[in-house]
């Protein structure tokens, strides 16, 4: 029998859900108009006032917010509450220097942990479960998000954070963890390590995994499930909207239920901004209707997928989004970390290299590989291997400081990277997702 964390909401009728959304949206638009001058100005420019928004059907009248707005408004420009009411921030990994900072009141955190608790229950968690949270803790939302949902449910929460792979496996074994939360690529790495240690699925106490924060294929899901003897569930979210738990998979494992009593989704044509019907692929846009410290409206995620209201066998009526197909911009997600080619370019140019480089991303044994080929200038070109190695090491270190993950850097001879006559192709992504 299917369990729910908040059954009345998760199985509400379409009419009940619309009523919840209409009421919250009207209230939220007033809150934003009164407290967020940045967005009020956008509304004024679009000729919209709170009186024009009477229900969800009027959502399309509101202006979009984009990542560029978030950067312009950095750090406090979209804050909807006095700072003394805020109790936490989280932050994205940052693009060209400016990170996005999201603020939370205690009520916002409570709402967020409801979302992750729903995801945990959908993956089979009860208060008897031991939940190992191997997402990073800190500014990243993964660790804190699943941690708080697990607490709320009353699970024994094991806050290992990411890294120290053998220790992770020791805790899973010794504490008989039943649910593992981490990125799919880390799950694959853990699975690989378990296999190397001679552990068979029967030796591994885990029953389920809640994996997200990056795109992953069905093949990868099947591999992880087989090696660990678990059911692997997808989970989606983004810092701007709180973090993981914006949507989550249920036993059907075919798309993620969106917590639409908190986040109203729309799919738009990324070029025209036109709202598209259900089952059509486009850019996902979200309006947060009840978080007040960082109340973002019609936020363009740049994630591409479709929405579906088809009946789900789990009994949840929450709308579903399909697995993510890709992004409408150039951001790469490598080992769960957001990487922009422009960040790499900055590091290279700061170190005196020309802007001739190539980023090659692949996937070996379910883990992302990340290679950067960088051309030397003729002045740098040398036969002295020691010198080349120390130059490479300097770049690896600087890139790690900028991106938070390690790349393999290879310095190549001047003029060896093909010049382009049109737009440069800097990224070769060989991952088949």
**What DSSP assignment string belongs to 17-36?**
HHHHHHHHHHHHHHHHHHH-
Q: Which region, judged by CB under 6 A, interacts with ligand DLL, from 26-34, 104-112, 230-238, 423-431? A: 230-238
Q: How far is the CB of 363 from ligand DLL (least distance, A)?
A: 14
- Report the residue from 21, 28, 92, 317 that binds ligand DLL according to the rule CB under 6 A: 92
290 contacts ligand DLL (rule: CB under 6 A): no
324 contacts ligand DLL (rule: CB under 6 A): yes
The helix or strand, by DSSP H or E, that contains position 70, with its residue range, turns out to be helix 67-72
301 contacts ligand DLL (rule: CB under 6 A): yes
Distance of CA 327 to the CA centre of its chain: 12
Determine contact, residues 158/132, Cβ cutoff 8 Å. yes
Residue that the structure tokens 């500014």 belong to: 139
Q: How far is the CB of 135 from ligand DLL (least distance, A)?
A: 5
**What DSSP assignment string belongs to 318-373?**
S-EEPPP-EESSS-EEETTEEE-HHHHHHHHHHTT--S-EEEEEEEETTEEEEEEE
**Among the residues of 104-243, which ranges form H helices?**
106-122, 141-153, 165-174, 184-196, 218-228
Binding mask 238-257 for ligand DLL (x = CB under 6 A): xx---xx-------------
Q: How far is the CB of 300 from ligand DLL (least distance, A)?
A: 10
Q: Which region, judged by CB under 6 A, interacts with ligand DLL, from 80-88, 151-159, 209-217, 375-383? A: 209-217
Q: How far is the CB of 131 from ligand DLL (least distance, A)?
A: 14
Within 8 A by CB and 6+ apart from 84, the residues are none
Binding mask 119-148 for ligand DLL (x = CB under 6 A): ----------------x-----xx------
Select 301 or 366, whichever has its Cβ closest to ligand DLL: 301
The residue count of the chain comes to 433
149 contacts ligand DLL (rule: CB under 6 A): no
Determine contact, residues 143/112, Cβ cutoff 8 Å. no
Contacts (CB under 6 A) with ligand DLL, residues 303-322: 303
Distance (Å, whole) CA 287 – CA 297: 4
234 contacts ligand DLL (rule: CB under 6 A): yes
The site for ligand DLL (CB under 6 A) is made up of 92, 135, 141-142, 212-215, 234-239, 243-244, 301, 303, 324, 327, 333
């Amino acid at each position: 029998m299917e369990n729910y964390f908040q059954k009345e909401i998760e199985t509400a009728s379409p009419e009940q859900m619309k009523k919840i959304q209409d009421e919250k949206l009207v209230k939220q638009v007033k809150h934003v108009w009164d407290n967020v001058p940045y967005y009020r100005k956008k509304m004024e420019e679009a000729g919209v006032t709170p009186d024009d928004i009477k229900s969800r059907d009027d959502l399309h009248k509101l202006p979009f917010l984009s990542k560029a707005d978030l950067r312009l408004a950095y750090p406090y420009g979209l804050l909807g509450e006095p700072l003394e009411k805020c109790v936490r921030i989280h932050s994205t990994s940052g693009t060209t220097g400016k990170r996005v900072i999201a603020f939370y009141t205690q009520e916002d955190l409570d709402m967020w942990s409801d979302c992750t608790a729903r995801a945990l229950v959908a993956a089979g968690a009860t208060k008897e479960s031991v939940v190992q949270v191997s997402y990073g803790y800190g500014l990243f939302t993964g660790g804190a998000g699943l941690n708080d949902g697990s607490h709320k449910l009353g699970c024994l929460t094991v806050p290992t954070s990411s890294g120290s792979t053998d220790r992770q496996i020791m805790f899973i074994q010794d504490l008989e963890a039943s649910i593992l939360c981490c990125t799919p690529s880390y799950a694959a790495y853990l699975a690989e390590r378990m296999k190397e240690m001679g552990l068979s699925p029967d030796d591994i106490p885990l029953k389920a995994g809640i994996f997200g924060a990056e795109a992953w294929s069905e093949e990868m899901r099947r591999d992880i499930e087989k090696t660990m003897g678990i059911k692997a569930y997808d989970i989606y979210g983004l810092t701007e909207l709180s973090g993981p738990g914006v949507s989550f998979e249920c036993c059907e494992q075919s798309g993620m239920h969106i917590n639409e009593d908190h986040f109203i989704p729309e799919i738009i044509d990324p070029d025209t901004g036109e709202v598209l019907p259900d089952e059509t692929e486009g850019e996902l846009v979200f309006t947060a209707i009840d978080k007040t410290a960082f109340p973002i409206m019609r936020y363009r995620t740049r994630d591409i997928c479709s929405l579906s209201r088809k009946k789900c066998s789990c009994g949840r009526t929450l709308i579903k989004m399909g697995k993510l197909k890709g992004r409408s911009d150039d951001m790469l997600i490598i080992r769960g970390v957001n990487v922009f080619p422009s960040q790499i370019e900055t590091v290279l140019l700061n170190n005196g290299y020309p802007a001739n480089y190539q980023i090659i991303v692949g996937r070996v044994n379910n883990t992302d590989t990340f290679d950067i080929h960088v051309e030397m200038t003729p002045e740098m070109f040398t036969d002295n291997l020691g010198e080349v190695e120390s130059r490479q090491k300097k770049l690896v270190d600087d890139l790690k400081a900028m991106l938070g993950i390690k790349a393999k850097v290879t310095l190549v001879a001047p003029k060896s990277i093909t010049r382009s006559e049109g737009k440069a192709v800097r990224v070769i992504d060989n991952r088949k997702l």
